[in-house]
Amino acid sequence: MSPMQMKTPKGTRDWAGEDITLREHVFDKIRSIFRLHGGAELDTPVFELKSILTDKYGEDAKLIYDLQDQGGELCALRYDLTVPFARWLAMSNVRQIKRYQIGKVYRRDQPAIARGRLREFYQCDFDYAGTFDLMVPDSEVLSVIVEVFEALRINVTIKLNHRCILDGMFAAVGVPQDQLRSISSAVDKLDKSPWEEVKKEMLQKGLAAEVVDKLGSYLLSSDISNASDIESTLSFIKSDEVLMANEDVKKGVQEMELLSQYLSAYDIATYVKFDLSLARGLDYYTGLIYEVIPESFSTVNGAALQVGSIAAGGRYDTLVGMFSRRDIPCVGISFGVDRILTILNARQNRVEDPKPKIDTWIIASDSSSLVEERMAIARELRQAYISVDFNPNASQKPRKQLEAADCVVVAVYLEEDTETAGGIRVKVLTLPEKNLDKATVVDREDLVDEVRKRLV
Amino acid sequence: MSPMQMKTPKGTRDWAGEDITLREHVFDKIRSIFRLHGGAELDTPVFELKSILTDKYGEDAKLIYDLQDQGGELCALRYDLTVPFARWLAMSNVRQIKRYQIGKVYRRDQPAIARGRLREFYQCDFDYAGTFDLMVPDSEVLSVIVEVFEALRINVTIKLNHRCILDGMFAAVGVPQDQLRSISSAVDKLDKSPWEEVKKEMLQKGLAAEVVDKLGSYLLSSDISNASDIESTLSFIKSDEVLMANEDVKKGVQEMELLSQYLSAYDIATYVKFDLSLARGLDYYTGLIYEVIPESFSTVNGAALQVGSIAAGGRYDTLVGMFSRRDIPCVGISFGVDRILTILNARQNRVEDPKPKIDTWIIASDSSSLVEERMAIARELRQAYISVDFNPNASQKPRKQLEAADCVVVAVYLEEDTETAGGIRVKVLTLPEKNLDKATVVDREDLVDEVRKRLV
């Protein structure tokens, strides 16, 4: 008996039983939506060269898991599926693709398991890469988001912002160019922290008090509090001369107007809020950014804390160019499956009809265990794609064997019988009936057909 | 433009295109067999506490990938799926289960990519845990192996041995008790290296020359060369008084006799060879062990080198006990998917009928790009579970748009038309016909039905 710690590493977990059944159900739903859009699957290694991950994640880079240097290359566990996708695009000849990937990613964050925040967690990513008409891929990605949550029956709000508008606003109030990402990262905390804290962080980062206050006047404006629809926020921006004097803001506004049109075409405009305080922590976004908040947690200000966003993404037009001479503009979405499962579990919205693990169960009379006959019949049924099992402790009494047959549809009951050819009488019983006297005798060669008939 | 290396880490690869399609096809086949046997899925973290992996893998432990110590627990990437399964069993209340797991494992080995040997590779494991009648679970696991390779249409030979017979033989010829595993590991190389090299390794490990020679007389015996069927090898052992004087050998022989009976019941005896030189490198096996060799590579002595085994496993009755006070006997099999794919690719036995990525393609006349109408129709079709796409460069000419519609079944063609209600005339064309004049006009509200009809 060893004194070792019996646990999974901090922030990780095993998946088994109903949990993995529900998870696979969610993966299937998401995968089927991705395929309705023509998504092609990609799978990349769990770790990448450390250099691939460097300078992609801003302040979050400290959360990257490194592999130990055991001689050879320096590697790190992937932090998301986006950077590996961009690396793959840069290495391949592909210039346009809708790709999806479902896989685990790794962040040395403070885990909060009850809220579905782990260090090893699944992401389901859909990304649309290629040089295309403005906002056409972006609006399709947003329609993917809506379709996924419609399929999962989770009511959501998609909070949108545009990096050009955000950065233009920062520039317009006087944030120095080299502090854009650092201040953006502070603003991103507004959904979890009160303004006073965010303000303090900005001051600590060296921003002048008057710049912070001007920024606050936009971010906290009552005209757009709690995130308004696209039209209202656009009106607010367009009525502000300081903002509209900035070229980046102007460009972002044009794109948001086009997007608004396309969201109406997709009939998904009602899902969307335009939130000027949405910033997203990651460095690589260049245009539209978005976060998906489950509706029941997003009504009261600050309550989004409970689960946080359950999907997030945006446009990143220069990430592939960090890996290769040729840029490929991309836009994508990443679904956080663990948090989605937390919601489905909390709502007891579990898979209603878990499939029986096994269709058929083979038992035998007390007089003999007939193990080899069970094996022969099991092989035959499985060859007919009928799932089947028997108790490997063959000598148990038949009634006890039958009791173990939970979630089973048909029982096959074997008895020794000198009058039957082959010496074995075969009976079939459809459960939940467990009275063996009610079992029907069938010919050995009709068994597979008889079982199949009872399973339909 | 950065000078960074554009590659995946040594011994790892991306999966995309036809490769991942074939791989998912193989996973589906394997998973369906596992489920026919009542297998339940398990998923464990990619890394484990280092202490969990310690003292499980014998000489191969040097191949384990460690995570860097960044403060907190010492962790390592999983080396197989068996030890994590045993750790999970020890932590849970489950006392009997058939579990399967499909996942990546990690070994800092010398990669040989052409032969499907990588540092990150997939394993598909099926294990039968619980205290049951002798050899009943073991024979079922062997039937799983046969069914999987029948489903994949790969002819295989399953080489069997029994650790009790192997260790008994070692003891009978005079191998010291504390050298059993180390000598076993040398014997395991006999399929890749000539006897002279294996002999040298044993002598270097301090085994007396006469012990080595006695061992050689068994391992190289012409009576059982090239691995015989179970009956022949059992006869060879039973005719040898030195071996039969050993209690472990006797126990192993009894189990192999019972197994032989059960393999006949499953009608899979012809797949099996009993090979006294099969040893398996891992420490944790305690009974039956086996390796699966693809037939075309296994006829000539030594040629198995080309791909090596494509599945391997055995009985491990004490591994769970290394983690908990309560032992749970287990027996299982691990399929090496990468090597299986190497074979399928070499045989050009690829998926014959790759499904079209997309069923429907929406195009529009030159006069207007009708982007928003395409979006509205795309959303409608996807809601009806019909996969659909359109060129996001909307202003392309319709004939060019149609050319891009590879692997598509139905095209929806939109034209502006003042005489139609809504201003849009909708036409439908079943491909490969690409003459737009042959498209049929349909009412807007009949579109989904019409497309569905043409897809069936």
> Is A150 contained in some domain?
yes
Listed by number, the residues of chain A in 129-158 with a beta carbon closer than 8 Å to a beta carbon of chain B are 130, 132-133, 136-137, 139-140, 143, 147
CB-defined contacts A:B, below 8 A: 265
CB distance from A32 to chain B under 8 Å?
yes
Task: Tell me whether residues B70 and A385 touch, CB distance under 8 A.
Answer: no
DSSP state of A221: -
Judge contact between A319 and A331, C-beta under 8 A: no
Q: Are residues A143 and A265 in the same domain?
A: yes
DSSP H helices in A54-135: 82-91
Q: Are residues A364 and A337 in the same domain?
A: no
Q: Is B233 annotated as a binding residue?
A: no
Listed by number, the residues of chain A in 344-363 with a beta carbon closer than 8 Å to a beta carbon of chain B are 357-358
Domain end point (choices B346, B370, B398): B346
Average pLDDT over every residue of A233-239: 93
Chain A residues whose CB is inside 8 A of the B323 CB are: 2, 4, 6
Q: Are residues B31 and B85 in the same domain?
A: yes
Q: Are residues B368 and B317 in the same domain?
A: no
Cross-strand pairs, A66: A76
Judge contact between B298 and B173, C-beta under 8 A: no
| pLDDT of res. A3 | 54
pLDDT digits (tens, 9 = 90+) for A164-204: 999 999 999 999 999 988 898 899 888 888 999 999 999 99
Chain B residues whose CB is inside 8 A of the A409 CB are: none
Q: In angstroms, rounded to a whole number, what is the distance separating the alpha carbons of residues A304 and A188?
A: 13
Q: What residue of A is the nearest CA neighbor of B110?
A: A72
Checking if the pLDDT of B304 tops 50, the result is no
| pLDDT of res. B171 | 95
Q: Are residues B122 and B154 in the same domain?
A: yes
Looking at the partner chain, which of A7, A357, A375 has a beta carbon nearest the beta carbon of B49?
A7
> Is B102 contained in some domain?
yes
CB distance from A69 to chain B under 8 Å?
yes
Judge contact between A165 and A256, C-beta under 8 A: yes
DSSP state of A439: P
Task: Tell me whether residues B70 and A65 touch, CB distance under 8 A.
Answer: yes
Chain A residues whose CB is inside 8 A of the B77 CB are: 46, 67
Q: In angstroms, rounded to a whole number, what is the distance separating the alpha carbons of residues A200 and B391?
A: 48
Query: What separation in angstroms does the CA of B39 have from each of A309, B56, B208, B289?
Result: 35, 25, 47, 21
Chain A residues whose CB is inside 8 A of the B20 CB are: 41-43
Domain end point (choices B295, B313, B346): B346
Average pLDDT over every residue of A243-251: 96
pLDDT digits (tens, 9 = 90+) for A333-358: 999 998 899 888 877 545 444 455 78
The confidence band for B3, taking pLDDT boundaries of 50, 70 and 90, is: low
B252 vs A4, more confident: B252
Checking if the pLDDT of B57 tops 60, the result is yes
Number of domains in chain A: 2
Range among A35-44, A339-348, A353-362, B112-121 rated most confident? A35-44
pLDDT digits (tens, 9 = 90+) for A89-100: 999 989 999 999
Q: Is B182 helix (H, G, I), strand (E, B) or coil?
A: helix
Range in B166-170, B221-225, B390-394, B419-423 with the lowest mean pLDDT: B221-225
B6, B266, B284: best to mutate for the A interface, most A CBs within 10 A: B6
Domain end point (choices B287, B321, B346): B346
Q: Are residues A323 and A366 in the same domain?
A: no
Q: In angstroms, rounded to a whole number, what is the distance separating the alpha carbons of residues B141 and B128?
A: 7
| pLDDT of res. A393 | 84
| pLDDT of res. A158 | 96
CATH assignment of the domain containing A365: 3.40.50.800
> Is B57 contained in some domain?
yes
Checking if the pLDDT of A405 tops 90, the result is no
Range in A221-225, A263-267, B351-355 with the lowest mean pLDDT: B351-355
Q: Are residues B338 and B402 in the same domain?
A: no
Q: Are residues B189 and B332 in the same domain?
A: yes
Q: In angstroms, rounded to a whole number, what is the distance separating the alpha carbons of residues B90 and B41?
A: 17
Looking at the partner chain, which of A17, A66, A392 has a beta carbon nearest the beta carbon of B137?
A392
Q: What residue of A is the nearest CA neighbor of B267?
A: A376
Looking at the partner chain, which of A68, A88, A267 has a beta carbon nearest the beta carbon of B67?
A68
CATH assignment of the domain containing A300: 3.30.930.10
CB distance from A35 to chain B under 8 Å?
yes
CB distance from A8 to chain B under 8 Å?
yes
pLDDT digits (tens, 9 = 90+) for A274-329: 999 898 877 889 999 999 999 765 433 444 436 678 999 999 999 999 999 889 99
Q: Which domain holds residue B385?
A: 360-455
| pLDDT of res. A31 | 95
Q: Are residues B186 and B271 in the same domain?
A: yes
B105 vs B432, more confident: B105
> Is B288 contained in some domain?
yes
The confidence band for A253, taking pLDDT boundaries of 50, 70 and 90, is: very high
Task: Quote the crossing angle between the two packed helices B195-204 and B180-187, to the nearest 10°.
Answer: 160
Average pLDDT taken over every residue of chain B: 89
Burial of A60 (0-12, 13-18, 19+ CB in 10 A): middle
Q: In angstroms, rounded to a whole number, what is the distance separating the alpha carbons of residues A228 and A243?
A: 18
Q: What percent of chain A stands above pLDDT 70? A: 92
**Chain center to CA of B259:** 25
Q: Are residues A26 and A53 in the same domain?
A: yes
Task: Tell me whether residues B265 and A44 touch, CB distance under 8 A.
Answer: no
> Is A5 contained in some domain?
no
| pLDDT of res. A354 | 47
B46 vs A416, more confident: B46
Q: Are residues A316 and A378 in the same domain?
A: no
> Is B320 contained in some domain?
yes
Q: Are residues B322 and B186 in the same domain?
A: yes
| pLDDT of res. B116 | 66
Cα–Cα nearest to B370, from B408, B427, B409, B410 = B427
> Is A3 contained in some domain?
no
**Joined tokens for residue A369:** 């265990």
Task: Tell me whether residues B5 and A49 touch, CB distance under 8 A.
Answer: yes
Q: Is B316 helix (H, G, I), strand (E, B) or coil?
A: strand
Cα–Cα nearest to B89, from B329, B330, B320, B332 = B320
Q: How far off is chain A from B302, nearest CA to CA, in Å?
A: 32
pLDDT digits (tens, 9 = 90+) for B382-416: 989 999 998 888 778 888 888 777 778 999 999 98
> Is A4 contained in some domain?
no
